[in-house]
Amino acid sequence: MRCFIAVDVYDQALKERILEVQRRLESLDAKFTFVEPEKMHITLKFLGEISDLKIREIRKSLGDLRFPPFNLGLKGMGVFPNPNRPRVVWIGVSEGADEISRLAEMVDDSLGRLGFPREAKGFKPHLTIARVKRGGGAALAEILREYSLREFGASRVESIKLKESTLTPKGPIYTTLHEWKAS
């Protein structure tokens, strides 16, 4: 199973504001694949292909994590890997950035003890809203400038989830395998 650990984004008003941006991007002379509102999440750690046995180990290991609930404020936009060759369009995290970074580090430490590779690059909290298939150019750069300081709203983090990602021609299907509540 192809899996990852994530925090879901629940706030509907926040998702509506993100949909407005996606519609703006859709109007460009470029090709994007957009993340659907019900699939919006912030990945804490991508695990790749794992076995049922490993899932049991993950459930036990992450069951020991303790973290308080917190607000996650989303602000600004950017692209990975860089503006000259955009592949991913994201919205950044302002409020709660330290908390979610600490949470990602705790997940990484816990899963590192199970043999998962540690994250080599520092965790950069972000919400992927689109993948760039082709184009973008100056028009995308202009939208990024326009939204660079935009506050999109906040969502409450009250749990983390182990999710399975099944790739299909119509996009990924996410299934929650386990959830750990904040305490």
Q: Answer yes or no: 178 catalytic.
A: no
Mention every residue, 6+ apart, whose C-beta is less than 8 A from residue 47.
3, 4, 5, 58, 111, 116
Q: Answer yes or no: 126 catalytic.
A: yes
Q: In a 3-state reduction of DSSP, which class is residue 93?
A: strand
Selecting among 5, 7, 21, 41, the annotated active-site residue is 41
Mention every residue, 6+ apart, whose C-beta is less than 8 A from residue 28.
135, 136, 139, 140, 143
Contact 75, 149 (CB under 8 A): yes
Selecting among 126, 129, 152, 155, the annotated active-site residue is 126
- Give the residue numbers annotated as catalytic, written as ranges: 41, 126
